[in-house]
Structure 1
Amino acid sequence: MTEYLDPHQAAPVGDSERPAREHDMNRRQLLRHAGWFGGAVVLTVAGGEVVSHIAGPRDTAAGAAPVARGTTANGALRFVQVSDSHIGFQGPANTDVTGSFNEAIHQVNSLGFRPDFVMHSGDLTHLSTAAQFDQVRQMMTGMETDRVFTVPGEHDSIGDAGRAYRRTFGKGTLGDGWYSFDTHGVHFIALVNTLSLEKLGHLGNEQIEFVRRDLRGLSSDTPIVVFSHIPLFAMYPRWGWSTDDALKVIALLRRFSSVTCLNGHVHQLFTKTDGNITFHSATTTAYPLPKPGRAPAPTPQVVPARQLKDALGIRTVGYRQGDRELAIKDKRLT
């Protein structure tokens, strides 16, 4: 049975009723930013570094030989990132986002190995309704993995600052839904940077202080993986594809020899390396967005039906203890 969990023991975050007028206003704001498409990407941590690529249907991490389902080769860590499922979206860019997300789940279950966990990096839903959150939760129980982690996207925070999201996925998290955990010698941090619609991409002082305390005491050779929905680098600030106070967190990560930041939001693959830190943007399982600056706004793009799945995908990641890098593989839904 798939669990939605975080190793921290913080109390669940409370909730209050959302004002209908504010909810409707924020929906309209967000529809102007409705965005990218992609699918699952396979990531592997090897030699302390994350490596990504588009995987085959029975791809294994870090070039390891195929192993029996439900086993892990040589004690390696292998996990999957999915992003931007936008359950509830209705539009010509993808008339069946439920079907394409089900295809992504099928790909997760057909990788030839059982992932240690799956991370959904935000925009699970399109309009953050209770029914949409319940639907995506039920769908993800079909993933053949022991644990599913999530971070919220801006579409998961419409009108109520993410309270509905946290009711379903925030048990055991801290503050507005952030947390960290350790496995296979890797330290993972899940951040929330989607709660301010006026300035998309914002962490806030409380969360930055959480990161400061969380990293304190870790050895500088500990591999660090950071998940967020919006990029932690200035990919295209004009469209809200950046985090305005991310440099404060980046400064805290500089002392570590290997840092990998994985995000969604932009619905396309993009990689940037800055010293010891590598940033990887993932594709989506919903619909494409334009490349930065090639359209007036990041609105859903309609492509020929036969080309849609080629724009969607998932990501797998693998890591072997003692390595310095993660091995990342991106897999299209075709």
Structure 2
Amino acid sequence: MAKKGLDDQEKGLGRREVLECMVWAGTGVLWTVSGGVPHSIGLIGEAAAAEPTTGFTFLQMSDSHIGFDKKANPDALGTLREAVAKVKAMPTKPSFIIHTGDITHLSKPTEFDDADKVFGETGVQVHWVPGEHDLIDEDRGKAYLDRYGKGSKGAGWYSFDDRGIHFIGLVNVVDLKAGGLGNFGAEQLAWLEADLKDKSNSTPIVVFAHIPLQIIYKEWGWGTDEGTRALELLKRFGSVTILNGHIHQLAQKVEGNMSFHTALSTAFPQPAPGTAPSPGPMLVPADQLRSKLGLATVTVVQGNKPLAIVDKTLAG
């Protein structure tokens, strides 16, 4: 089903020499880097098999919610296993996986154990940032940091470089209030400013966090209170890709050289903004669940054209 093109038109498309196809998947988003700029490519089924890929690719996954067993999906671990099976069957093996939070549902050691075991089957490195569900243990995130926070700062933020791209993992879920916006705090924003200080404007940047940096729906806390400050620090760079999860549904936006990409969950869908009294697991008929963990193809035509989006589902 085709959706309307985005109102925000991507600038600088004239620099691209060919048509680019970007495929979104509920089980993940596979990214390839061409000319130092990340673009997403197919992940599942024929889309992945048909898309020629060379060079550097990585995968985004999000919101696994291991331990969740309610009616919206009684077996979140099972659907994660299905997602990982897709990864293992991919014709192009990703260099690594970025997971944008909510690995677990209740921060229990057994939930982290189960997640580690399944993700370990991919055979590739995983870079993590926490979701709010990963920081609700009695020690307020110690379980997460003990497993995934080695070498990170503060509540788990960090950066690394890979093949000319600077990756930044941010944490915007500390002390998150129910229905409240995400937050960074002064310490993390100061670290981000220092981290970017010596990077040239031409350095491609990939930022990943759990909650969207931009405000998607304030009434449900779908955004980051200090996101504008972080974006101000990033706007001087020629290519910025921002990845997140949290809202369990596809959302994308392009503003100048910044591309915002929100991944779907591998566990359960959530309602569209304002279509329910509150966010939370959305119950759909069991035979439709995988249609909510679907994929969409985004085609970018060379020139100053809006993005055209066509949804495809796992079920289809």
State TM-score, norm by structure 1.
0.77
Question: How big is each residue's C-alpha offset from its partner over 1:23-82, in whole Å with a ceiling of 9 and x where there is no partner?
Answer: xxxxxxxxxxxxxx93212222334443336544265599425xxxxxxx3xx2100111
Q: Is the 8 A contact 1:38 1:288 kept in 2?
A: no
Q: Is the 8 A contact 1:156 1:162 kept in 2?
A: yes
Match of 1:92 among 52, 71, 81: 71
CA distance in 2, matches of 1:114, 1:331: 22
Q: Is the 8 A contact 1:285 1:313 kept in 2?
A: no
Q: 1:314 to 1:185 in 2, by over 3 A?
A: farther
RMSD: 2.4
Q: Is the 8 A contact 1:115 1:144 kept in 2?
A: no
Counterpart of 1:209 in structure 2 is 190
Counterpart of 2:140 in structure 1 is 161
Q: Is the 8 A contact 2:103 2:130 kept in 1?
A: yes
Counterpart of 1:226 in structure 2 is 207
Q: Secondary structure at the match of 1:52?
A: strand
CA distance in 2, matches of 1:184, 1:291: 37
Match of 2:30 among 42, 58, 70: 42
Q: Secondary structure at the match of 2:241?
A: strand
* Aligned residue identity for 1:173: S
Greater relative contact order: 1 or 2 (C-alpha under 8 angstroms, separation 6 or more)? 1
1:141 to 2:129 alignment: no
Q: Is the 8 A contact 1:266 1:289 kept in 2?
A: yes
Question: How big is each residue's C-alpha offset from its partner over 1:241-286, in whole Å with a ceiling of 9 and x where there is no partner?
Answer: 1000111110110110010100000101110112221110000100
Counterpart of 2:150 in structure 1 is 171
Q: Is the 8 A contact 1:54 1:332 kept in 2?
A: no
1:118 to 2:97 alignment: yes
Counterpart of 1:295 in structure 2 is 276
CA distance in 1, matches of 2:113, 2:40: 31
CA distance in 2, matches of 1:166, 1:156: 10
By how many angstroms is 1:184 displaced? 1.6
Q: Secondary structure at the match of 1:167?
A: helix
* Aligned residue identity for 1:293: G
Q: 1:163 to 1:331 in 2, by over 3 A?
A: farther
Q: Secondary structure at the match of 1:152?
A: coil
CA distance in 1, matches of 2:85, 2:72: 21
By how many angstroms is 1:331 displaced? 8.2
Runs of 5+ consecutive residues of structure 2 not aligned to the other structure: 1-24, 297-309
State TM-score, norm by structure 2.
0.81
CA distance in 1, matches of 2:218, 2:140: 21
* Aligned residue identity for 2:105: H
Q: Secondary structure at the match of 1:51?
A: strand
Counterpart of 1:260 in structure 2 is 241
* Aligned residue identity for 1:123: D
Give the aligned length.
Answer: 276
Q: Secondary structure at the match of 1:180?
A: strand
